[in-house]
Every structure is written in structure tokens, then in C-alpha cells.
Structure 1
Amino acid sequence: MKKTLFTLILLPLISHADDMMLASNMRGLPEDFRRYFYDSEIIVQVYLNDTRLFDAAVALKENGDLLLLRTIDDAQDTDQDTRTLWSQVLEKGVSIGKCEKACPSGLMAVQYRLDNSVLRLYTTHYETARARSTYIAMPEDTPGGIIMYNDASVTNSVTSRSWGINSSLTSSFANWSQKASFQSSGMDGKYHYSSSSLYELYTQKELRGSFVRLGFFTPDSDTGNVQTSGFGYDTVVGAMWGTSDALLVNTDSVSAWPVYVTGRNQSIAEVWRDGRLIHTQQLQTGVQALDTRHLPGGIYDITIKIIENGQTVDTQQAQIYKPQGWNDPNRRWRLNLWSGQHRTLTTGDGRLREDNPFSVGGGIDFLAHPRAVLGLSGAATEKEHQVRTRANITLSPDDTLFAQYTLGNTEYQLNQNTDIRYYRNIPGGGSASLFWRSATTDIYGHRTTSRQQGDTWGSTLSLRLPWSTSLIVNGQYMDTAWRRGLGADISITTLATLSGRDMNFRVSAYNRPGFNDNRRDHGVSFGVSLSLAPAARHTLSTETGMNQNQGYSSLNYQWQPGDDHSIRSLGGGVSYSQQNTVISGNASVDTPYVSGDGYVQHNTHGNTSTAGGNLSQVLVMGGGRVASVNGNNSRSMESALIVDVDSDDETANVMASGRMAETRLKVGRNIVPAELWKKDTVQFTASGGESVQVFPPFDSVQMQRGSVKYIKVKAVKTFTVVGMLQDEDGNVLKNRYVSSDVSGGVINSEGVLTLDSGVDNQKLTVRAENGQPAMQCALPSGMDRNKKVQFFSTIKCRTTGQRERK
């Protein structure tokens, strides 16, 4: 204690401007104190990151080596195993400063501060511990509902007609989410075909960090945050369990390896990336971790500038490790397991299994390093199995390597597939890639075995060149049973302006091996498109070129009327070659209820025509209401609000604002996307009109997948009532609560009421209270709707109910 007291006495002699992290940097210490201080017993408080472990006696050498002599007082709120671990580490000795090699238990830095006699141990878990993995609590009364996506496609020609219908339903019932998916397709004509199948029908529950699924599902798709193997489009009736981050409260990920900075009094840390300031942080005195929760995801280099008194006093380089999609680096394992019986719910000409074997499968993803994700997945039945391994490695912020090997075995054949890809981002918006794909199939016949093997090597380069020019080059070498040889594609596009109108020039060429050793496919084309108006709503394009030594030319026109029009585009064109002339037309629409597109082509050779189209629509049901919206605007919607808007002002422009988006509402029925899981407050405001208020002004929602909630809002043009209220006997009412159709207020002690009311409102209501009866007050008719404030000398009221019982 005497030595600690002596230390405190000498504090004024210590220079606080110097770095206090290393003992050798403790300048300003008198020589006699230096001899007394080092290699002596010093009483310190030991902290692990921000948590106190114990008080201890330590010995400190002048070169920064520190040794634990004994512990004095343990912190009772910390784990005993943790205290034991770090006391053993300190007994072996550590060095003040950054840990460079042989760092025990993730130790990154050791700091000793003389001014408060505190020893801090910083580890790799410092910041990940700050991002606590707490989970959202879902209420028991989560809204139910149904969201159904419907898509239809059809093609019709002289010889055949093809059609397809796809429906996907997401619902919420009893705090579980349900999913059902249906597909039907067919063809009429010479090759008649028809098939309908139900490939998803299950219920799922989101838990804290995981989910449970029961029912009929396809293991290859929608498996949480893990890539899982299955048997292609084959379906299974059974159960699935997997890890999930859906209910994590804090979705802000932190750097898997923390970045430490040393602050001084009144200093700021600026974080720069590629010459752009992306974050600032006020620093406390001493070493501390940079707050990386708000930094972008990925693995990239940063520059940290320490600003003191407006001047840059220090600059250091660091790297952020925030793996994409890994919200909690502490949970390095991700799992998915499923089991069940193969079942196919198909009618028509679809493939039916002769047996229904029991099958199991699953997948594991492991964050081996912030730059490397390793995966293993597999699926098996009695007669077939599949195993897949993969690695996704971030070599640098601009370089990524992906490798995958798949081994599949059935009763009659063995498949081996290798896929290795390298991606690189090029500054300025370009990219490059290299790949190698290899497939080997061993087929077991009766007393015979055959092997088919194919390899493809390739690369792609995309560059942005000067003068608004882009270049795309694609090259491949194929060595397969169907194609063999070198192939290449090249395309150059240039944007220009002529008299205020946009122009687009494109030159492309290709040359690739023919199918089954036939002659090579090759061609070249030159195209120009010109905007006929500066608004780019009318575009004329022409193209000429050659395919297989046969020349062709085409002319097309396209009209895009704008966002406020139901027609998205309308166009037509003609294409001429020596063998045929094709006349075509196309259109696309985007209505509030359905979106779609269609086309028609007529060939003069053979005098044949072909027509086709697509329709997309979303049906939403919930709260006893049904609404429809076009599929283009709501494709990814998993929960929704049905909002009915009533307005007495056509210029109100009601807006709904929440976390998901800001949506403009029309008078009548609307659909607004809602955020999943988290509580959200949707604000309703009127951006147009004069003195318009929206009621209710907001609504709080918390939704799960498939939830639909119904809300009715009204946009009311208002004015302010200023006047006196009198009862049947002519007495002035005072200190009474009064409400209108849009607000409420209290009459002041002098009998004057100031209250907002809708312009179409005809009455005010006085609340029954303190033994006084409820009353109705009629507003005078013939008021000027354009006046914002209306003054009334007298407003007559009459009793409407019994006196309130005391």
C-alpha cells in the first residue's frame, strides 16, 4: 500500500501526453522513483477486456516484462475458470504492449496505466462479446394471414401450345409459418405432355438461433443459412432442423479480429476506406477497440487517423474481418439436418418413383478463418448417396476463390464433379474470372462399364474503358463428348450523345465449336440504338450482321411512357434475312392488380405466327380482408399490411413510412410490405393538401413470415375551432374534456375551447366526468372549408346520457 500511495503522490510529475502503454515510455519519472518502482511489488487491478478479474501484486521490469506475484481479491461476478486461466497466464509472464508471437488464449495486447494502477488484458473476443447474441421475443398474438404469388406463362404457335402455372403460398397460423408451392405445365400438339406437382407443403417455427420444419419439402432449397445437399428436385416428407439468425436482435456484425487504437485526451479516430471517410469515433484515454459494428461487411483494408486538436497526430493501417452473412463470428458452426421418406406428389406425365425410400441428409458450414468458409454436406438413401465439399476463400478484398467437389453414387452410375472458380474485382467497375469444371460419369451396365468425362476451362473479362465504353470478353476451351475446341465471345459497347439524345453503339462477335463435331458456330453483328426524344421514352434501334455466313438486318422501335402509366413498354420491329422476314410486336403492363408482358411474331417463310405472354400477381389475405397487387412490385414480400385509405382531400398524398420502405398510398385498398420479426412503427403522413391530418398517425406491428395485418386510415382536411360551449340553460362549460372526429382537448378556465376538427365534422362530444353528463355539441352549418381557423361565439350543447355515477 505504501508503494501505491507513493505512486499517487508522484502523479503530477508524469506527462499525460505520452503513450502510457509501454513501461519504457513512462517519461518524467524521477531516477530514484524509477529504481524504486521497477522490479518491486506493485498493487494493480486486473481487467480482461472490460471485465474486472481480480486485484493482484505484480512485478514490472523496465523492458516491459510483467510477472504475477499473487492475487489479492477476486471479482465474484466473473467466472472462476476464467480467473484461474488468466492468473496462470500472468504467472508465466507477459510483456506490456501488443502481443506479437506465442500469444496465449487469444491475447492481443497488454496495457498498464500508472495513473490508476490498472492492468488490462485485451483479447480477440473483446468486440465480439460486445455484440451480444440476444434474440427477438415474438408475441403470442402475431397476426395470421396468407400471401400467395401466382405466375402464368403461355406460348402458342401453329403446331403446338405450351403453358405453365406456378403458385407459391406463405401463411402464418398459430405462431408457425406455412409454405406451399404448386407447379403445373404442359404442351399440346405432336409431343403432348402434362404434369402437375406439389413440391412444398410444410409448417416451420423460428426458434432462438434455429428453426424446425415439419412436412413436405425439397431439401436442396430454402435451408436457412447452410448449403444443404439433397437429390435435386426430389421431395421428402419428414422433418428438418437448422441454425438460423432470423431472430437475432443485433444484426450488426463486428470484425472477427478487433482493431485496437490508442486514444489521448480529446482525440478522434477517423476510419478511411479507399480514400473515403466511412466512420468516426470519439476515443477515451488509453488503448481500446475500434467500434466496427457500423462498418460495412467484408474483408478490406482501412486507414485510421487519430485527430487531436484538429491535427492528425497518428496514422495506422488495419484490416476489417467481417465475413458476409456471418452476423456472429463467435458462432462459427452452422448446421442443417433433415430426414424423411421420398415422396412425389405428381399427376400426369411427371416422373414417379417406384419406391419411397427413407433418406437422411444435412450440411455443415464452418468459419475456419474470417477469410475462409468450409462446407460439407451430404444425403443418402439405401441405394444412392451424395457428398459435397466446398471452400469459399477471400484472398483479398478484391479476390475470391471458390472450390467444390461433388461425389454422387446411384445403383447404376457414379458421378464426380469438380468446380473451381476465381473472381477478381477490377478498380473502375470491371471484373475478371477463371474457372475449371470437370465432370466424370461411370455407367454400370450388364457386364459392361463405360465412362464419360468432360472438362471446360474458361475465363471472363469485363472492363470499363474511357469514353463510356465497356468491353466483355469470354473465352472457353471445351473437351466434352459433345463439343471440343476453343470458343470465344467479344462485345464492345459505347455510349454517346447526339443533339441531346442518347446513342448506343455495339459490336459483338462469337466463334465456338459446333455440336457433335459439326462445323463451327460463328457470327458478327453491329448495332445502333438512338433515343428519339431527350426523355428516352422513344427508342429506335437497328442491327446488322452475319450468322453462319448468312447476313441479316433488323429495325426495332420501343416506347416507354413513364412510371405513372399502366403500360410499361410498347414496341415492334422487323428482321430481314435471305431465308425469312420476321415481323414482331411486344408490350408490357404494370397495373395495381396484375403485371404482365406479351409478344407476337410472324414469319413470312411458311406464313406462321407465334404468340406468348406472362402474367404475375400477388394475392394477400388477412384481418378479414383480401387485396391484390402486381407481382413486379411485391416479389420478395413475406409479410404485409392491408391498408384502406379514406380521404376527403384528393391532394392529400398519404405516405406509409417504415423500416422496409416508404410507400405512396392511393385512396382505397393498398398493400404495404412489412419487416419480419422486429417491432416496427409504420408512420402515416400526408405530404399534400392544406391542413390535412392522417388518423391514426401510426401503427405498431411485429410480424412473422406470412403475417398480414389490416389497418384503416383516414386523411382528413382540418380546421381549428375557437369558441365557447354552452349547455341547454346557457351556462358556459369550463374545464371539460371535448373531442372531435380527429382530436381532443380541454376547455380552459375562462370557457374558451381550441380544438382541431375535420371540415366535414358536424359535432363535438363532451365527456361525462365528475358527476356531469356527457353532451353533444352541434357545429354551425355553412362554414367556409378554406378557412384554417373558425371562430364561434357560442356552440350549443345538449345532454345525451345519464349522469356519471360517483
Structure 2
Amino acid sequence: MPEEFRSAFFGVPRLSALWVDGRQLGEVELIVSSDGAVRLQPGMESVEGGPWLAYLTEARRLGSCAQDCPNGLLALEYDIAESRLKLLTRGAEQVGDAAFHALPEQGGHGLLLRNDVSVFAQGQGGLEGRYNLDVTGSLHNWTLLGATQLARGGARDHAWRQTVGQWYAQRELPRHFIRVGKFANGVQGLARTPALSGETVLGLMAGSSDVLVRDSDFPSQVPIQVSGLPGSVAEILRDGVLLHSQALEGGLQALDTKRLPGGIYPVEVRVRKDGEEVSRRQEWVYKPQRWGDPAQRWRYNVFAGQRSESTGSRFHRQLGWSGGGMVNYLLHPKVMLGGGMVRSGSRSEYAATVDAELSQRMRLDGGLFWRDGDKGWHGQLLRTLADNKGSWQLGLEQQWRRSGEARHALTATAYRQLNERNSVTLQAHHDARSGSVGVDLGLNRRQNWLGQEVDLRFSLFDQPSTSGQARRRGVEAALNLHLGESGRQYHASVGSRAKEGRQQAYATAGMSQSWQDGALRNAGLAAEANEQGLGFSGSAGFHHQLADGDAFFSRGANRIWTGSLNLRNAVALGAGKAALGAVEAGNTAMMIVEVESDDPDATLKGGGRWGEQTLRPGVNLLPLTPYQPGRVNFMLAQAEEAQPLSVRPSSAAYHLNRGGVAYQKVKIMRVMTVMGRLLDQSGQPWAGASVVNHAGRTVSDENGLFTLDVHAHTPELGVEREGVKHCSLHFQPEGLGLSEGVVFVGDIGCLVNSVKFEGVNNV
């Protein structure tokens, strides 16, 4: 480091990022000394990572940690170019508990209530309705889940029916989970599910779980090795599409297969050097889908308890005892086995499954079951064509009832890509018990017409009867026009289908439109003409800050009206706050973000590794990923160009259990830039002092100079050093010559523990 920079760097607090094991905990003010030690500037208690902040309050030497090394600390490094302090612990390389997310020590509490309302009406059939309440809560790292339903039938059933569904508590552990309460004995954590009948049980369950696995990516069970040259690059391609590229060192080495998609499939590995191909060969990737980590060959799920009614308003009605379990075993990267047994009262059930890759392009999925004298098997064979432009699938099912009745069914499906724009599909099935046969044949073509993409479809169908109706036979030709980025589509079709024992011709036409912003997200209108007359229908999907949903209506050619409405929203309770909003059903952790803004038209974007969401002044609900610690970054999304604004805080850390709710208040402040010089009690430039305002903080340089964005509604500065507040300065920007949003306050001097004073240029 040049000598003239040393005085400006060493011994002066610097705003730096704190990283531990590759994860950023926040920003702190650090003082680096010329002898290679680092310590924390006091007053940073709000940053995540309390134990490390306490450790850094004393001077710690950079480099390998030799003594006083808490939490497995190995080394400290300060990156001058990036202003970043990095701490490395043994947990960064451990395979044991460090491979899993720890449950949150704080912030794991909360309650999420999801409301789902559906209303349906048709002609004179009366009004039908349904209200679902799904509850997800968090208490001391236990997740509480519950569901109940209130429903009303049509004209023949005016009564409201209440159904009490599952209500249980679940605790996640590394590789396992435990559950207690009322739950369906369905399977969680298994790759293959034996076909056993389900029922509701009041009792206990335990099983395999990958929820807390820190790295969801896992490598191929058989490594892919290459011999590289310095400066060469390896490319992994599947069906001619690049999946991953990796820079190589000299010599034999393994490729990084964690980023490759799951499955068992062939790839082509090419090595290039200076743009020229050095080698090319075929390899296989062995990452069984739905399995998780192949190093864990066994997966299980067991339960025991009292059988309970799954419908009715009573929470529990004892119906005897039930218990059982299911296991999976990864016999080979290409072969997964499954088995299970359930004992319910006097009934017993057994099942077994197999999922195997028979060859490069053929897969077998099959199973057996025994159930109180009934038995049977099923099998499905899937084959992809050699040129990867088609596939066929064959399914067989055979059952024998203890009454002597037998059932045999066969299903066949085929798909073929004829060329770049044409494809054909065929589906046929046969049920030996009823003697019915059904066939569907479809021809598809994608055509460019007047610069727009058009989908054309021609189909023939002959399906067996249902509910005593005649066979469904017909032919249809359809067109779908896509108008590129406008989000608009037009569609039309003509055809003939069997109705009431005779063929009836029909024609349909319609359009749909989608939007990215606004309350209305999509809408569509369609009309159909047939021998009975003209019918029409419409649909719309909408999203509001408080709820989202969709609606549909139609008037058939037979003059019967039909309509439906679906509404969904969620209520989040936690951290002493409550919020109502529209969220996706799959989100299981939330942050309530309260936005205060000096500019009512300004909007924020909250973003993280989960995506982005617009935040408006007021209360917002932000969906988060449970168990995984992370940060939400707050960025201005919309504001007047001439108006300088600042967002505080700029980010917020979170670590939540499933069902947990966090709270964060964010301010959008109108700011002005204040420039000045700090002087010490002897009138000399004061370096390394912290200048603080609601909108931010900075540190004076070696000449005592500072520049800081200050909240326009709170024009005051605080001067701190070593955690001690020296003085405060209140000023009126108008009297200091505000020029293009910049205020020059001149020289500022104050004594330790001096009282607050008004004015500037006081030494």
C-alpha cells in the first residue's frame, strides 16, 4: 500500500460487509490496524450475527486463528478492494449437522390463515358454495397445521356441512420429521409411494425429510471425470443443449454435476481449448429424480394411532387402532424399490413397487398389492425414440376381487414429432370388464402466418359412454393465434360431436388477453354456435393487494346460465403485528413490511433469492422461504426523477420456521446531501468519527471531511466516536444555501459529552 494511503486506511472506521462461511450477515464499521488486527466500531448491535459482533469488539488478528477461536473459527481475512471481512469456520466444510439449516433461534413464531371461497351457480340448480380455512403456525420451532371446510350443496342439499380435516404439530429434524395430532396417513418424504388406502388417524408419525438440507443440489452418483489442459473448458450437453460449462485445470479432474438437472440420462462431454475441440465422449448422469441425496439409500415413513372420521364436525371419533409403515430403497441408481404395510382394525394391506431404468431409453414402473382378499398388479412401460423426437407408453392393470370378479385394462399412448412444425399424438385404452375401447388421434402443426405463430390442431375421438350416455364420437379442427409479447391470443374451432345419439356440428371463436400489471391479470371471451343456437362465455383473473381470484360465466345455446367465483387471501399474525394480503398458496413463511414514505407515489421492490415483489406505502405481505436464512433487499422501484429519496433500512435479515412471521418497518425518506468538516477540541481535523442521521451514517476522512444523506424532515446530525455520542447539530437548510439538494454546513466542532447546540461553524 502506498505510504500516503496508510494514514487514511489504518485506524479509521470503515463501513465493511461481514461474511461468515460465505453468507453475508450485514454491514458493520471496522477499524483495521497496521499490525494486521481488526476490531468492531461500537454501536452496531442491529446487525445480524450477535456472537460474532461480541467476538469482534476486541482486536482480532487477521489470518489463521490460533487462540480464542469460538464456534470453530479457522481464519479471518479482510478484502481491502471489496471492504469485506470474511470469517471461515469448520462448519463450512463439515458434512454432519453443518449440512443442514439450523432451526431459527428467534423469529420462528407466527400464524398464517389462508382463506379460500368458491361460489358456483347453474340454472335452477341453486347456489353451491365452499369455504376452506388452512392454518399454518409456528411455536417454538414446531409447525402447527390445520384445515377445516364449510360447504353447501345445490338445490337438493341446502344444508351447510362442516368438515374438520387435519390438525397436527410437526417438528423438522436433520433427515427426519416427527408429527403428532390428527392427520391423514399419507406419505411424506418418500420417492416411491406404495398404493395403500388412506385414512385419518389421531396419533404419531415419523419419517424421512430433506426439508433442512442446506444444499438441495447433489452430485451424480457416478462422477464424470475428464483430463483437461490449463485454460481449457468442458461443456456438458444433453440432446444438443448446453447444460453446464466449467473451466478446467491441467490433469485429471471431476466435473461439477451438482448444477445438472435430476434424472438418469446420457450427456455429451466436450473439452475445448482456444476455441478448438480437444475431445468428445458420451457419459451418463445418475441423479435419481424425487430421491434427494443418493448417498441416503433408505427412506421411511411410519405411523400409529386411532382411526378417526375424515368428515363431520367432530374433531375425533374413535374407530379402532391403525398403524403401518412404508420404506424406499435405492438398490441401484437405476432401480428404486418400495414397500409398505398398513394394519387397520382387522384389515391388513400390503404393497410393493419398483421403478427401474431398463435401458438408455426405456423405463419400467410397476407395483403389487394385497388388500383383504383382493389383489392385483399394474405396470407401465415408457420408451423414448432414438432421435428424441417421440415416445410411446404402455400401461397394464390386472385386479382380482375376492368375489371372483376380475378386471383387466390396457392403455397405450404414442407421440411423434414428424418435423420441426408437425407432430402427431395417439391414445387408446381398453377395459376388458366392460369391453369398451376408446381412441384419440391428434395432428398438430405450428405455422408462421403474417409474422405471427399459429397453432393448428385436427383431432378425431371415439370414447366409451359415461353415466348411461351414448358414445362420444367426433372430429374437430382448431386454430390458436399468438400475438407475441402483446399477451393476446385468438382461437377458433369447428367440429362435430355425438349428442343424444346423433352427430351435431358446432363452431367456436374467442380471444384472451393477459397483463403483467394492474388488478386485472387476464380476461377472455368466447362464443359457440350449434344446432340449438348461440352461446357465449367469459372469464377473468384478478390480483389485488388484499385478495386475488378468478370468475367465470356462460350462457349455453340451451339458454342455461352458469357462473362461478373464486377468492383467495391470507392473514398473517406475528411479531405483534397483523396483515391481510394476497399470497401464493405454497408460501409457508411471511414478512410483514410496513412502508412509510415521504412520497406517496414512490414504490419499493423487495427482492431476494426467492424473487421480487412490489411494495407500496402501507402494510405489505412478503412471501419467504422457511428454514433457509436470507436477506430481503429494499430498492426504489418508482419515484419522481427530480426528488432524491433514500430507503432505510436497505435490507433486512430473516430466518423463519414454517408458519413463522417476521416484521420490518421501511422508510422512504426525502433526503438532501450534507457536506462539512469535523474539528476536534483543539480545532484540528477530526478523522474517524461517525456522523449519524435517520437516513444513514458515514465516517469522516483523514481531513475531517464528511458527506451524508440527511432526512429532509429531520435536519440533524449526531457525532459519535468509540460508541460515545459527542454532540448533535440541528440546522435549517434554507438558511445555509440549499443548492441542487446539497447543503454545506462548514466546520463543526464539539466536545465530549457536550450539550446539543444550534448553528454551524462553531468551534
TM-score by length of 2: 0.76
Distance 2:180 2:729 in 1: 58
| Contact 1:227–1:377 under 8 Å retained in 2 | no
* Aligned residue type for 2:382: Y
Match among 603, 607, 621 for residue 573 of structure 2: 621
SS at the partner of 1:327?
A: coil
Which residue does the alignment assign to 2:106? Answer: 141
- Are 2:438 and 1:487 aligned? yes
- Are 2:186 and 1:220 aligned? yes
Which residue does the alignment assign to 1:441? Answer: 401
Does the C-alpha gap of structure 1 residues 189 and 738 become closer, same or farther in structure 2, counting only changes over 3 Å? same
| Contact 1:653–1:666 under 8 Å retained in 2 | yes
Distance 1:665 1:779 in 2: 32
Match among 545, 553, 557 for residue 506 of structure 2: 553
Distance 1:404 1:211 in 2: 27
Distance 1:234 1:610 in 2: 35
SS at the partner of 1:336?
A: strand
Match among 187, 195, 201 for residue 167 of structure 2: 201
Match among 155, 172, 175 for residue 189 of structure 1: 155
Match among 390, 404, 411 for residue 353 of structure 2: 390
Q: Which runs of 5+ in 2 are unaligned?
A: 1-92, 757-763
Which residue does the alignment assign to 2:326? Answer: 363
SS at the partner of 1:376?
A: strand
- CA shift for structure 1 position 519: 5.0
Which residue does the alignment assign to 1:665? Answer: 615
Distance 1:297 1:284 in 2: 29
Distance 1:421 1:747 in 2: 73
* Aligned residue type for 1:535: S
Q: What does the per-residue CA deviation read over 1:694-734, in whole Å, with 9 as the maximum and x for residues that have no partner?
A: 2212222222211111111223343321235799x998995
Which residue does the alignment assign to 1:570? Answer: 523
* Aligned residue type for 1:389: A
Which residue does the alignment assign to 1:592? Answer: 545
* Aligned residue type for 1:621: L
- Are 2:706 and 1:706 aligned? no
Does the C-alpha gap of structure 1 residues 571 and 315 become closer, same or farther in structure 2, counting only changes over 3 Å? closer
Distance 1:697 1:710 in 2: 15
CA RMSD of aligned residues (A): 3.7
Q: What does the per-residue CA deviation read over 1:448-487, in whole Å, with 9 as the maximum and x for residues that have no partner?
A: xx3332222111123444463443321112212xx32321
- CA shift for structure 1 position 240: 0.6
Distance 2:523 2:276 in 1: 60
Distance 2:107 2:323 in 1: 33
Which residue does the alignment assign to 2:744? Answer: 791
SS at the partner of 2:401?
A: strand
SS at the partner of 1:245?
A: coil
- CA shift for structure 1 position 420: 1.1
Q: Which runs of 5+ in 1 are unaligned?
A: 1-128, 443-449
Which residue does the alignment assign to 1:177? Answer: 143
SS at the partner of 2:734?
A: coil
- CA shift for structure 1 position 655: 2.5
| Contact 2:101–2:628 under 8 Å retained in 1 | yes
SS at the partner of 1:137?
A: coil
Which residue does the alignment assign to 1:637? Answer: 587
- Are 2:371 and 1:408 aligned? yes
Does the C-alpha gap of structure 1 residues 304 and 528 become closer, same or farther in structure 2, counting only changes over 3 Å? closer
SS at the partner of 1:347?
A: coil
* Aligned residue type for 1:359: S
1:113-124 maps to which residues of 2 (within 5 A)?
none
SS at the partner of 1:635?
A: coil
Does the C-alpha gap of structure 1 residues 779 and 227 become closer, same or farther in structure 2, counting only changes over 3 Å? farther
Which residue does the alignment assign to 1:432? Answer: 392
| Contact 2:107–2:661 under 8 Å retained in 1 | no
Distance 1:479 1:726 in 2: 96
- Are 2:176 and 1:210 aligned? yes
Match among 422, 425, 434 for residue 381 of structure 2: 422
Does the C-alpha gap of structure 1 residues 399 and 683 become closer, same or farther in structure 2, counting only changes over 3 Å? farther
Distance 1:351 1:544 in 2: 52
Does the C-alpha gap of structure 1 residues 325 and 602 become closer, same or farther in structure 2, counting only changes over 3 Å? closer
Distance 2:238 2:272 in 1: 17
SS at the partner of 1:247?
A: coil
- CA shift for structure 1 position 687: 5.0
| Contact 1:759–1:785 under 8 Å retained in 2 | no
Distance 1:666 1:303 in 2: 49
* Aligned residue type for 2:109: G
Which residue does the alignment assign to 2:304? Answer: 339
Does the C-alpha gap of structure 1 residues 346 and 743 become closer, same or farther in structure 2, counting only changes over 3 Å? same
Distance 1:283 1:753 in 2: 47
Of structures 1 and 2, the larger Rg is shown by 1
Which residue does the alignment assign to 2:476? Answer: 525
Which residue does the alignment assign to 1:114? Answer: none
Does the C-alpha gap of structure 1 residues 439 and 732 become closer, same or farther in structure 2, counting only changes over 3 Å? same
- Are 2:683 and 1:683 aligned? no
Q: What does the per-residue CA deviation read over 1:472-518, in whole Å, with 9 as the maximum and x for residues that have no partner?
A: 321112212xx323210122333434444554433222112335897
Does the C-alpha gap of structure 1 residues 582 and 436 become closer, same or farther in structure 2, counting only changes over 3 Å? same
Distance 2:236 2:667 in 1: 47
Does the C-alpha gap of structure 1 residues 528 and 275 become closer, same or farther in structure 2, counting only changes over 3 Å? closer
Distance 1:784 1:669 in 2: 37
Which residue does the alignment assign to 1:125? Answer: none
Distance 2:94 2:286 in 1: 16
* Aligned residue type for 1:594: A
Which residue does the alignment assign to 2:65? Answer: none
Instruction: State the identity %.
Output: 26
| Contact 1:694–1:714 under 8 Å retained in 2 | yes
* Aligned residue type for 1:647: S
Distance 2:101 2:267 in 1: 33
- CA shift for structure 1 position 327: 3.4
Distance 2:158 2:121 in 1: 14
Distance 2:116 2:569 in 1: 7
SS at the partner of 1:781?
A: helix
Does the C-alpha gap of structure 1 residues 397 and 643 become closer, same or farther in structure 2, counting only changes over 3 Å? farther
Q: What does the per-residue CA deviation read over 1:384-404, in whole Å, with 9 as the maximum and x for residues that have no partner?
A: 122111111123454322112
* Aligned residue type for 2:616: K
Which residue does the alignment assign to 1:514? Answer: 465
| Contact 1:765–1:777 under 8 Å retained in 2 | no
Q: What does the per-residue CA deviation read over 1:337-363, in whole Å, with 9 as the maximum and x for residues that have no partner?
A: 110000126437x9997x611111111
* Aligned residue type for 2:718: T
Which residue does the alignment assign to 2:696? Answer: 743
- CA shift for structure 1 position 177: 0.8
Distance 1:131 1:288 in 2: 22
Distance 1:560 1:266 in 2: 50
Does the C-alpha gap of structure 1 residues 531 and 643 become closer, same or farther in structure 2, counting only changes over 3 Å? same
1:77-476 maps to which residues of 2 (within 5 A)?
134-157=99-122, 158-191=124-157, 194-221=160-187, 223-225=188-190, 232=197, 234-262=199-227, 269-277=234-242, 278-283=244-249, 285=251, 287-305=252-270, 314-344=279-309, 346-347=311-312, 356-396=319-359, 398-409=361-372, 414-425=373-384, 430-442=390-402, 450-466=403-419, 468-476=421-429
| Contact 1:363–1:376 under 8 Å retained in 2 | yes
TM-score by length of 1: 0.73
1:730-769 maps to which residues of 2 (within 5 A)?
734=686, 736-747=689-700, 752-767=705-720
| Contact 2:719–2:725 under 8 Å retained in 1 | no
1:533-552 maps to which residues of 2 (within 5 A)?
535-537=486-488, 539=490, 541-548=492-499, 549-552=502-505
- CA shift for structure 1 position 267: 6.4
